[in-house]
């Protein structure tokens, strides 16, 4: 079976990490900054978006690793656990934002 490019997974993962990093940066932005009024809720939204993007990237990586090997090996398990952890983090920040 020919191997396929994992460009989509890596792009989703990098965008997810960058989105979460912008959210972390916005957490420490001073309120007297010209976008300071947006800071109060935006970092939760950025964490949620980053978590969802990372969950999608790790989920696609897990599926592609399973399709390549046709069995549940360490790579599939690790990617699945990372996808579930990212999804759990996104859900937790969504609950923090709502509550």
Give CA–CA dist 90/19, Å, rounded: 12
CA separation, residue 12 to residues 37, 40, 54, 65, 94 (Å): 29, 26, 7, 16, 20
Rounded mean pLDDT of 26-31?
74
Q: Please report whether residue 1 resides in a domain.
A: no
The pTM assigned to this predicted structure is 0.80
- Flag whether pLDDT at 1 surpasses 60: no
Inter-axis angle of helices 74-98 and 39-69, to 10 degrees?
160
Q: Please report whether residue 11 resides in a domain.
A: yes
Q: What is the pLDDT of residues 70-96, one digit of tens each?
A: 888 999 999 999 999 999 999 998 998
Residue 23 near residue 46 (C-beta atoms within 8 A): yes
Q: Please report whether residue 43 resides in a domain.
A: yes
Comparing C-alpha atoms, which of 79, 73, 78 is closest to residue 58? 79
Domain count, the chain: 1
Q: Please report whether residue 37 resides in a domain.
A: yes
pLDDT-above-90 percentage for the chain: 34
Tokens of 77: 């398990």
Give CA–CA dist 99/90, Å, rounded: 14
Range of the domain at 30: 7-98
Q: Please report whether residue 2 resides in a domain.
A: no
């Amino acid at each position: 079976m020919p191997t396929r490019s994992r460009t989509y997974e890596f792009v989703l993962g990098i965008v997810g990490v960058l989105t979460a990093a912008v959210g972390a940066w916005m957490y420490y932005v001073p309120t007297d900054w010209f976008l300071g009024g947006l800071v109060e809720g935006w970092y939760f939204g950025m964490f949620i978006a980053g978590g969802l993007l990372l969950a999608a990237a790790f989920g696609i990586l897990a599926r592609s690793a399973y399709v390549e090997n046709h069995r549940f090996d360490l790579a599939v398990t690790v990617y699945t656990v990372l996808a579930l952890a990212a999804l759990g983090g996104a859900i937790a920040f969504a609950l923090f934002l709502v509550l």
